[in-house]
C-alpha cells in the first residue's frame, strides 16, 4: 500500500509569503503526485493548510488540492482556523466535540488523524475530550495503528519548535502507552524539517513544508525561529506487512538523471 504524506502548505489568500508563492508550490506538489505517484491510495495533509486561517486562503487551497486524482484527508494545525476550514470543507469528519479528527480503516490498519490545535497560541494541545475519543478508537478493533498529528509529542532539539510542541505530551502518552506494540508509526508536521526518530518505542517521521523550512540550528534560543528555503518535499510512504518505509521526495529537483 502506498500513500502520500503532505504537510504545512501555508497557503495565503493572495500575495506572497516570505517572498514565495505557497499556492504555486502546492500546485507543483499536486502535479508531481498525480504524475509520479498516481497509484497512491490517498494523500494525508497534516495541518497548517493555510498561513492565516482566512476564507480566501482556504478557497485557494481547495482549488489546488482539488486537482489531486486520489482521495485526500485533511487535518488542521496551529495556523488553521477550524471555523473557516469547516465552511470550505464541510464534509471533513469531526468528532462529537467539533475537533477535526477521524479514524480510517484500511488494509494496512487503522489510521488515526488527530486534532492537536490549541484555543490560543502555536503550541499543541490534546485535551481530555480528545483523549477520550482516542482511547475509544485505540481499544477496538485490535488492528495495527498509524497515527497522524500536526504537533510532535516529543522534542526534536530545535528549542523554539520544542517550546511549541504538544503541551499535553505526558497525558497523551498515557493514553497510547498500552498500545505501543500496535502503533506502527507517527506521522508529524509543524517542524518544517525532515526528521526521523523513535519516541518511547514508537517510530516517527516529520516532513518538510512546501513554502519554507525551519533551519537546522540546534543552538538557537527558544525565542527565535530561523527559516530557510530548502526545497519543499512530500513523503512517499510504502506499507508492508512488516515494514513502514518513508521516502522523502524533493519533487522540485530537476537535476539530471543518469545510469550508475
Q: Dump the DSSP string for the chain.
A: -EEEEE----B-SSS-BTTB-HHHHHHHHHHHHHHH-TT-S-EEEES--BSS--HHHHHHHHHHHTT-SS-EEEE--TT--HHHHHHH-TTS---TTS---EEEEETTEEEEE-----SSSSSB---HHHHHHHHHHHHSS---EEEEESS-SS--S-HHHHHTSBTTHHHHHHHHGGGGGGEEEEEE-SS-S-EEEEETTEEEEE---SS-EE---TTS-TT---EE-PPP-EEEEEE-SS-EEEEEE-TT--PPP---
The dihedral sign for the CA sequence 102, 157, 249, 10: positive
**Does a structural domain hold residue 254?**
no
Residue 255 lies in a domain: no
Query: What is the spatial distance between Cα 199 and Cα 245, in angstroms, rounded to a whole number?
Result: 17
Q: What angle do CA 228, 45, 160 make, to 5 degrees?
A: 40
> Would you state the pLDDT for residue 104?
96
* Residue 163 included in any domain: yes
* Per-residue pLDDT tens digits for 24-78: 999 999 999 999 999 999 999 999 999 999 999 999 999 999 999 999 999 999 9
Q: Has residue 259 been placed in a domain?
A: no
Low-confidence ranges of the chain (pLDDT < 70): none
Give the closest residue to 43 by CA, choosing from 33, 52, 51: 33
Total tally of structural domains belonging to the chain: 1
Closest residue by Cα to residue 218 from 160, 154, 151: 160
Residue 110, domain extent: 2-249
Residue 258 lies in a domain: no
CATH (domain of 108): 3.60.21.10
68 part of a folded domain:
yes
Instruction: Note the pLDDT of residue 136.
Output: 95
**Residue given cell 530561523 in the structure block:** 226
Verdict on whether the full-model pTM lies above 0.85: yes
Note the pLDDT of residue 141.
77
Q: Does residue 119 sit within a domain?
A: yes
Distance of alpha carbon 161 from alpha carbon 155, whole angstroms: 8
Cell 509569503 belongs to 17
Query: Is there a domain that residue 42 lies in?
Result: yes
- On whether the CB atoms of residues 37 and 73 are closer than 8 A, the answer is no
- What local confidence, expressed as pLDDT, does residue 218 receive? 96
pLDDT for the residue numbered 140: 80
Amino acid at each position: 500500500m502506498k500513500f502520500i504524506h503532505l504537510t504545512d502548505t501555508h497557503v495565503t489568500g493572495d500575495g506572497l509569503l516570505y517572498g514565495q508563492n505557497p499556492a504555486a508550490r502546492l500546485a507543483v506538489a499536486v502535479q508531481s503526485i498525480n504524475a509520479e505517484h498516481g497509484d497512491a491510495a490517498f494523500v494525508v495533509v497534516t495541518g497548517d493548510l493555510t498561513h492565516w486561517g482566512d476564507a480566501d486562503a482556504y478557497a485557494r487551497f481547495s482549488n489546488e488540492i482539488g486537482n489531486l486524482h486520489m482521495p485526500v484527508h485533511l487535518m488542521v494545525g496551529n495556523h488553521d482556523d477550524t471555523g473557516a476550514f469547516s465552511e470550505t470543507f464541510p464534509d471533513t469528519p469531526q468528532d462529537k466535540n467539533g475537533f477535526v479528527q477521524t479514524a480510517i480503516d484500511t488494509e494496512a490498519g487503522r489510521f488515526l488523524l488527530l486534532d492537536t490545535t490549541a484555543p490560543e497560541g502555536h503550541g499543541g494541545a490534546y485535551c481530555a475530550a480528545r483523549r477520550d475519543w482516542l482511547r475509544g478508537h485505540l481499544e477496538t478493533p485490535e488492528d495495527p495503528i498509524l497515527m497522524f498529528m500536526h504537533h510532535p509529542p516529543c522534542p526534536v532539539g530545535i528549542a523554539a519548535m520544542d517550546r511549541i510542541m504538544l503541551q499535553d505530551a505526558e497525558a497523551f502518552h498515557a493514553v497510547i502507552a498500552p498500545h505501543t506494540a500496535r502503533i506502527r508509526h507517527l506521522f508529524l508536521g509543524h517542524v518544517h524539517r525532515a526528521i526521523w526518530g523513535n519516541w518511547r518505542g514508537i517510530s516517527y517521521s516529520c516532513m518538510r513544508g512546501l513554502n519554507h523550512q525551519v533551519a537546522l540550528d540546534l543552538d538557537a534560543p527558544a525565542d527565535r525561529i530561523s527559516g530557510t528555503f530548502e526545497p519543499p518535499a512530500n513523503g512517499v510512504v510504502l506499507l508492508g506487512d512488516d515494514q513502514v518505509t518513508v521516502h522523502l521526495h524533493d519533487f522540485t529537483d530537476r537535476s539530471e538523471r543518469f545510469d550508475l
